[in-house]
Structure 1
């Protein structure tokens, strides 16, 4: 029964993000903003569930307490999980990650520089301290920590908090281990993509961009992208093991257990 309740809750969160997503996807180009089509909603839900799976297992306080670093072996469980997803599914997952990071950087935990850029006149120091979250490396580290939030965390913060104090309190509620370890999902995806040697650079960080094989149709028409027959739609590995053993282009170690 508990599992069923969780599944229902996850479904409600995913559906809510389907409604919010156009505001984030077409943040600046609002003239093109529209509702997601049914097959686009399905892609987004898939990306959210995959994000949630990784987040629940590997951004859990127990896991990050004992293994906060990036994967260091081919059999790392984080890589094995991601290998069960196709490259196209990883593209859509990366797009969702980037949109959540944009929400963090622009809406929830903006840097001082971001705050200043939104005003024509200088922002008084006291006002800046009440709105901004620092600059430079310190802010970058904060964002990486925050990217361990779950889709429900992001949703709660986006819809129910308006002040720095509220968001700071929510951050502290996550515990010490949460603050001391950056998110690893994006880097783990990059490792799997490199292992597959697709030559694909997954970069979805630009606002309002069109992304081939992404959540939203590319080019933007009313039909689902014809990608089911593409090799990147069928390169998942059900066991999670690296398909071709042996050293890879980024392997500078003689050990078979390390990269």
Structure 2
């Protein structure tokens, strides 16, 4: 029996069993009958439920996208579903999926590379949830225009109210993700002078030629457009020998100072949203690229004079719940809590 001769109820079940939005679209475009068998409202609901399975939690993406100055952040918002909202949801989901792809490298760096693997579906969902929630926090409290000034008591109350809506386990996931972002920033975007120097071959170090070594010479950066954070502005090239952005960055990224200076710089970079940090990872080759990005994104000459407030708020909320913060962080490092839990779970 041809597929189109099946009862409509069975065809609807087939649509509901598909595991991705492209599969649903492909089947619906097979013929006019399949295209019209589901009303738009039902098809839209099916798209959102499918995205929730593959790229969710969708609810957290919606909370991110529907932020507004007239509502408190910790109050859940339920906007009507639409294809316009669906388009925005999928764009945000692509950012989270990139983190799922790249973060095993930072979760298990070179010293632990023997343990490196892809995240399973539960770990991937926990990571995506952390991405969406830290993005909401950054968008609300660190992005211009600000909801309230960071020194305003109202801003502190609102930040803490937002974190209190999340369970301890979810807060551990957020700290795990924040720690991974710190690693990405420290190794890729603002390495220390010592880290950059260590990349110079030993013979160059021995003869003190580091300042003349070509890999450390800054390159002239080409003007780039930072408006679209969801796509790379670099032209594609079929040349298989063309170096990657990461390879170019190893050659040309200058150091940003000492270990102590690096610590405070990273706290400032954490004011950026996950989308902005990912843009830097995918595009910035030199320190000049990074500085130009900061200028165009923030228009703030005092960008490095303040850092993200998230960690302080995280500590405050967990202290109020009677959680030993140091033990919690050690449990995250030992993979007993957070995004990846490989040992016996840590009891709060």
TM-score range, shorter chain: 0.7 to 0.9
Bigger share in helix:
2
Larger RCO (CA under 8 A, 6+ residues apart): 1
TM-score (norm 2): 0.57
- Equivalent residue of 1:213, what SS? coil
Q: Structure 1 6/31 Cα, relative in aligned 2: closer, same or farther at 3 Å?
A: same
Q: Structure 1 116/75 Cα, relative in aligned 2: closer, same or farther at 3 Å?
A: closer
Q: For 1:195, which of 302, 311, 320 is the aligned residue?
A: 320
TM-score (norm 1): 0.74
1:96 equivalent in alignment to 2:177: yes
Q: Report the alpha carbon displacement of residue 179 of structure 1 after superposing the two structures with TM.
A: 4.1
Corresponding residue number in structure 2 for 1:42: 125
CA contact (8 A) 2:337 2:345 kept: no
Q: Report the alpha carbon displacement of residue 181 of structure 1 after superposing the two structures with TM.
A: 2.8
Q: For 1:51, which of 128, 131, 134 is the aligned residue?
A: 134
Corresponding residue number in structure 2 for 1:213: 337
Q: Structure 1 126/105 Cα, relative in aligned 2: closer, same or farther at 3 Å?
A: farther
Which one is further off, 47-56 or 111-120?
A: 111-120
CA contact (8 A) 1:61 1:178 kept: no
Q: Report the alpha carbon displacement of residue 76 of structure 1 after superposing the two structures with TM.
A: 0.8
Q: For 1:25, which of 91, 94, 107 is the aligned residue?
A: 107
CA contact (8 A) 1:22 1:34 kept: yes
Gaps of 5+ in 2: 1-82, 219-253
- Distance in structure 2 (CA, Å) of the matches to 1:46 and 1:99: 14
Q: Structure 1 75/180 Cα, relative in aligned 2: closer, same or farther at 3 Å?
A: closer
Q: Report the alpha carbon displacement of residue 2 of structure 1 after superposing the two structures with TM.
A: 5.1
**Number of paired residues?**
220
1:158 equivalent in alignment to 2:158: no
CA RMSD in angstroms, aligned pairs only: 2.9
Aligned positions of 1:1-259 closer than 5 A:
3-28=85-110, 29-63=112-146, 67-69=149-151, 76-119=157-200, 120=202, 121=205, 122=208, 124-125=210-211, 130=218, 131-135=254-258, 137-173=260-296, 174-176=298-300, 178-201=303-326, 202-203=328-329, 209-219=333-343
- Which structure has the bigger radius of gyration? 2
- Equivalent residue of 2:146, what SS? helix
